[in-house]
Amino acid sequence: MRNKNLGLKTVALLAAVGLTLTACGGSNATGQSSDPTTAAGSGTPVEGGTFTFAEVTPINNWQTQAARFYEKANVLNSVLDRLTYFDVESGKVVGWIASDFTANKTQTEFTFTIRDGVTFSDGTDLDAKAVQKNLDALGLGIKSAQIQPNVDFAAYKSSEVVDKNKVKVTLKRPDANFLRATSSVTAGLVSPETLKLDNAGQTAIAKIVGSGPFVFESEKADEEVVFTSRDDYAWAPETAANQADAYLEKLVIKYLPEVAHRAGAAQSGQVDLVRGLQPVDEDVLSAGGGQVLAAQGVDLTTNHAAIRIGSGKLNDPKVRQALQVGIDRQALKDTVLSDSYVLAGSILNHQAPGFVDLSAELGYDPEKSKLLLEEAGWKVGTDGIREKDGKKLEITVASSNNSVVIKPAFELIEQQWRQIGVQLVNRAADNSFLTNAMVDDQIEFFGTRQFAYGGLGPVYAPATNNQTLNADKELNDLFTREQAATTEEEHLKLVEEEQRELVLDKALTLVLWDEVQVYGANKDAHIDFTSGTAPIFQGAWKSNG
């Protein structure tokens, strides 16, 4: 018995020592934090140096369309250029590799003028011919390499080289969102030689040839990838602060799967930037002299739970509206999230073109929820959970584990809904459950956020709708009209209408918070982010070079 106690005491002592030392980590530095929006803008850029960025998971597929996932988009943004760029400040698509672009009145034909003097890193020209081949690959896929078409290019029919600098794209149907889709990281331009490779070749970073500011130098599988700045790079997006080559000399991508180390890595300077900071680590990092940078996902929808009505329990819009106002969003922010997170005002985030602020109607109102549920015929049962026709109001949420906050968020919602007599089964962050749940309309909620370049049509329309899995005729008509809008004014008006329908009238999505990626940065790092939350390494620099 005495021996057992000895062992126990030793464990306890070791644990205490470990925790004390861990705790010290937060308090032994100078205490400096900086405003994320001016991170790159402050001071005069210093030339040179190696910038180390830690992603959360190793990257093995670098084909441009894989950039639908953050870890790939964050790096590919600095390796492949696109035809256009979305400028958050003006809310407009601006020129990049295309110096100019025009559309016909019906939005079925787009002509891109390709900038002069752009070359791929292997020396070949990025001209109209190369662009045409890339557009074909994006719009039609590459069968021989098992690469499928880009979902945002669903309307693509064909393209032709008009002259050395001009490409004309023809669409199958009007698509008001097509231009914005050409600004997506999933539409990166590669050398025509790359397009000829097999699947393994086109997904390997060592073989992909782009025209971006950073060029592949070396890699160590699953540990790091090193890129070198391209000295002759001179074709940054029209609105980029740095119009020349990158200030940095080298860019090193590493991986930090262990979430507990991320704040420490940035604070200690072992990395200059790290993605996937947990809310609990934000204060630790700021207090330790590091920077907490919240990159707003303007290109994405808000974090939301898309509603599927297959189980029959949520058929009645009243029930869905009851759930919408049965969520105390402020409590979510106060307990699970942090100051880096902005509560949702709609299905689009606050900075997205066409955003309409519906937050006044999303206020927490449990009494209204109860009333709506009563009206819909759901009566409180003996265990406090509502019932109707012998069925309990027990509903399930599925989501991937991509977001560090999604599971705790639904845990809190579970508690909140208990108050109105609703039982939530929380399967958030369970990837294996999600595989089937994603296409199962019996599972009531799909917790997610999606890239939405432009309107909501591409996300919610029937052809691509994996959100609600619901073919609602009225909504579908609306989405079709939105995509066919011929003027920007008309388009934005319809996007606004879509938001009202989805969030309020039909309540087919429960909106939670604006999409954001929280990065931790060292005090010497200066960096900005794109509308898709990717770091802009071409404009990044380090105070200490």
Residue nearer to other proteins on the CB measure, 299 or 528: 299
Site for other proteins in 94-153 (CB under 8 A): 141, 143, 146, 148-151
Q: Which is nearer to other proteins, 260 or 280 (CB)?
A: 260
Read off φ and ψ for residue 298, nearest 5 degrees.
Answer: -65, -30
The answer to whether the CB of 341 falls within 8 A of the CB of 513 is: yes
Q: What is the rounded CA–CA span in Å between residue 532 and residue 181?
A: 12
CB of 521 to other proteins, least distance (A): 15
Q: Which residues contact 212 (CB under 8 A, 6 or more apart)?
A: 78, 79, 80, 81, 188, 230, 233, 538
In the stretch 33-62, what mask flags binding to other proteins with x, by CB under 8 A? ------------------------xx-xx-
- Residue of 427, 429, 432, 459 whose CA lies nearest to 443: 427
Task: Give the nearer residue to other proteins in terms of CB position, either 182 or 538.
Answer: 182
Site string for other proteins, 500-539 (x = CB under 8 A): ----------------------------------------
Q: How far is the CB of 204 from other proteins (least distance, A)?
A: 7
The nearer residue to other proteins, 321 or 396, going by C-beta atoms, is 396
Q: For other proteins, give the closer residue by CB, 160 or 223.
A: 223
450 binds other proteins (CB under 8 A): yes
Q: Cβ of residue 223: shortest distance to other proteins, in angstroms?
A: 4
DSSP letter for 337, please.
Answer: S
Q: How many CB atoms lie within 10 A of CB 500?
A: 15
Q: Is 90 in the site for other proteins (CB under 8 A)?
A: no
Query: What stretches of 176-328 show up as alpha helix (H) in DSSP?
Result: 178-181, 192-195, 199-202, 262-267, 279-287, 317-325
Q: Which stretch binds other proteins (CB under 8 A): 109-117, 155-163, 217-225, 475-483?
A: 217-225
**Does residue 11 belong to the site contacting other proteins (CB under 8 A)?**
yes
SS3 427: strand
The residue (of 241 and 280) whose beta carbon lies closer to other proteins is 280
Task: Out of 204, 273, 306, 485, point to the residue binding other proteins (CB under 8 A).
Answer: 204
- For residues 137 and 152, what is the distance between their CA atoms, to the nearest angstrom? 13
Q: Cβ-count burial of 1 within 10 angstroms (0-12 exposed, 13-18 middle, 19+ buried)?
A: exposed
- Minimum CB separation of residue 17 from other proteins in Å reads 8
Q: Give least dist CB 264 to other proteins, A.
A: 4
Nearer to other proteins, 255 or 364 (CB): 255
Residue 299 amino acid letter: D
In terms of CB distance, is 102 or 401 closer to other proteins? 401
Which residues are CB-contacts of 169 (< 8 A; sequence separation ≥ 6)?
Answer: 109, 110, 111, 112, 135, 139, 156, 158, 159, 178
Cβ distance 329 to 513 under 8 Å?
yes
| Binding status of residue 224 toward other proteins by CB under 8 A | yes
Q: Which of 89, 258, 367, 389 binds other proteins (CB under 8 A)?
A: 258
List CB contacts of 240: < 8 A, sequence separation 6 or more.
85, 536, 538, 539
Q: Give the full edge-to-edge strand order of the sheet including 394-399.
A: 423-427, 394-399, 445-448, 303-307, 509-513
Q: Is 265 an interacting residue with respect to other proteins (CB under 8 A)? A: yes
DSSP, collapsed to helix, strand or coil, labels residue 56 as coil
The correct pick among 16, 27, 28, 487 for binding other proteins (CB under 8 A) is 28
Distance CA 169, CA 130 (A): 14
User: What is the spatial distance between Cα 452 and Cα 140, in angstroms, rounded to a whole number?
Assistant: 20
Q: Closer to other proteins at the Cβ: 211 or 450?
A: 450
Which residues sit at the interface with other proteins, rule CB under 8 A?
3-4, 6-7, 10-11, 14, 18, 21-22, 24-25, 28, 57-58, 60-61, 63, 68, 141, 143, 146, 148-151, 198-204, 220-224, 254-258, 260-261, 264-265, 267-268, 270-271, 400-401, 431-432, 435-436, 438-439, 450, 464, 466
